[in-house]
Structure 1
Amino acid sequence: MPTSILKDKSRFDLNYYDESKTANAFHSHFEYEVYYFHKGSCTYLIGDKIYTLSPGDVILMNGLTLHRPRVLNKEEYVRSTIHFDPEFFKKMLSGMSMECLLQPFMVLNSCRLHLNAEQKEEFEAALKRMDEFNNEKTEISTYRFQLAFVELLTILYAFTKEAMENQHKAEDTSDQADHVQQVISFIESHYMEDLSLERLEQELHFSKYYLSKIFKKVTGFTVFHYVYHRRINQAKIVFLLGPSSRVTDVSFNVGFKHPAHFSRVFKKLTGVSPEQYKKSIYS
């Protein structure tokens, strides 16, 4: 069902068990989104992350990060999606002292959850109840629809509570962590350019020796191991979206000076050459 009985009141959209295939470009929106993958084949791109989905996967999104599914024409693709205005439901939930149910979208931003068999059964049952109340379109069913959605948010909160607690524990507010975050933010904006420790030192005003030491301490990676991962991940996204992309062009566009170096790093990090990776996508 492409729309819900609450749409006019709260910018709420329920699309249940959708089997259609439409072209989806990268997009963003202000609504929070719950995406549930029922069955088929789909690769989902959110920002610089690539998720190969399995039936029973849930994606939670704050909506602002660019995202899109990639679906092969010959493959089945069944999903349910919910888009909702967080401000409307924040007011509604605060009246019940339950605004914490929106925390997964704020704390985890955009994340993928693997549901086990029991969680999958519980989540699918809640989705189905929402759709049934949505189809009735009566005054009482409207109330029950809202309650069913609150139940769904409660289920998601339970699924993500441990992840959120781990996220809070991992948030190091020390100066070193802040400095590493500055390095990561700079790399995110400039990974496709010629990067060196000397440039980081000049741009961020920290000693390159200090940056190298704290980056490895906080992340477990060297600075350039991280840069290479970011570049290769971007190359994989380009290959996914553009089957005709030339390996040489992609290598230059993601920041490598020499295609041979790009190919070596790509194989080291993925286990296959760029050419083999392209063939595996479109075979």
Structure 2
Amino acid sequence: MDYRHEEFQFEEGSRIQVFDVAKKQETLHCHDCLELNRIESGTGNYIIGGKVYEICPGDIFVINNRERHLAVHKEPVRMTVILFSSEVWKDWYNQDYLKPFFQRTEDFSNQIRKKEEGYDKLDQTFSSIKEEAEQKETGWRNVLEAAGVLLLSYLYRYYAGRKHIAEEGNAALYPEKRTEQVFSYIEEHFREEITLQEIADSLAVSKTYLCRYFKEMTNQTVFEYVEQVRIQYACCLLKKEDLSIAEISLASGFGSVSLFNRMFKKYMHMTPGEFRK
């Protein structure tokens, strides 16, 4: 299984894109935009940033620009996707309604279910945006952007009401060239043995600077991030591929099964075998 970082091309003059997806996803991926999607039909599992959610019709999922995600399903799953371009958070980055993407508590859930309070307004606004994008009546782009702000505002109300908005954001989620270069290098080479010197050399900086800078920007070490990327990739293999634990361990970049088991337990709070069931 491959991992892909996507750069989505928006239509000219548009910062919000709306479309339906029905094809089976094959690749763990993230992209340079913010995503909300609503499950229209089908069931399965959604792997988002190392967490796994059971998919049910009506569910709304919130995905930021760094979260690797993949819908795993046997029967067809159809979803409506709303994407917000990077221009949106460059212009709106101080607004509360972006906090569900960038300022999250540890117990934040990417999934919003039908039965939860606040869902109805999100669902209704979601449907209005979809209808506006399909009909394309006069001024539809302006209406789409206004409705997008309304949807994000309801999203903020939903998460703030559950106290899932953190006091401070993660600067690593915002576009920053050098941080993106580190992410890109790790995402390209995580299956291999990676050293700090190799990453530092790819950026033409010292190891000391790399470690200090990355810690300041992400509040984690370089190798904590490497471990998370490897574990997220392993989660997808465990759900999609008929491989042994040892094979998945090697394919995900871990030097031994014992190290893989220890790291998996650290981040997922269960063993790989328990996760696979």
What is the TM-score when the length of structure 2 is the normalising length? 0.58
Task: Give the SS at the match of 2:39.
Answer: strand
Q: Is the 8 A contact 1:129 1:148 kept in 2?
A: no
Task: Give the SS at the match of 2:46.
Answer: strand
Matches within 5 A, 1:152-191: 152-159=147-154, 171=171, 179-191=178-190
- Code of the aligned partner of 1:252: L
- Code of the aligned partner of 1:272: M
Cα offsets for 1:20-78 (capped at 9, x unmatched)? x975544999xx975213687532246x6655156654246799x996522355xxx88
Larger RCO (CA under 8 A, 6+ residues apart)? 2
Matches within 5 A, 1:44-55: 44-45=46-47, 51-53=52-54
Range 191-200 or range 233-242, more displaced: 191-200
RMSD of Structure 2 on Structure 1 (CA): 5.2
Residue 243 of structure 2: aligned partner: 245
Residue 201 of structure 2: aligned partner: 202
Residue 106 of structure 2: aligned partner: none
Residue 228 of structure 1: aligned partner: 227
Matches within 5 A, 1:25-104: 25-26=26-27, 35-37=37-39, 41-45=43-47, 51-53=52-54, 57-59=59-61, 68-71=70-73, 81=80
Matches within 5 A, 1:210-225: 210-225=209-224
Q: Is the 8 A contact 2:265 2:271 kept in 1?
A: yes
Change beyond 3 A, Cα 1:232–1:82: closer
1:269 to 260, 264, 267: 267
Q: Distance in 1 between matches of 2:193 and 2:123?
A: 48
Q: Radius of gyration: which is bigger?
A: 1
Q: Distance in 2 between matches of 1:211 and 1:79?
A: 42
The structure that is helix-richer by fraction is 1
Q: Is the 8 A contact 1:39 1:54 kept in 2?
A: no
Q: Is the 8 A contact 1:43 1:71 kept in 2?
A: yes
Q: Distance in 1 between matches of 2:52 and 2:187?
A: 19
Task: Give the SS at the match of 1:192.
Answer: coil
Range 146-155 or range 269-278, more displaced: 146-155
- Code of the aligned partner of 1:214: Y
- Code of the aligned partner of 2:53: T
Task: Give the SS at the match of 1:44.
Answer: strand
Q: Distance in 2 between matches of 1:248 and 1:198?
A: 28
- Code of the aligned partner of 1:221: Q
Change beyond 3 A, Cα 1:54–1:208: same
Q: Which runs of 5+ in 1 are unaligned?
A: 1-11, 87-98, 135-140
What is the TM-score when the length of structure 1 is the normalising length? 0.57
Residue 259 of structure 1: aligned partner: 257
Matches within 5 A, 1:124-163: 124-126=123-125, 152-159=147-154
Q: Distance in 2 between matches of 1:211 and 1:241?
A: 35
Change beyond 3 A, Cα 1:155–1:182: same
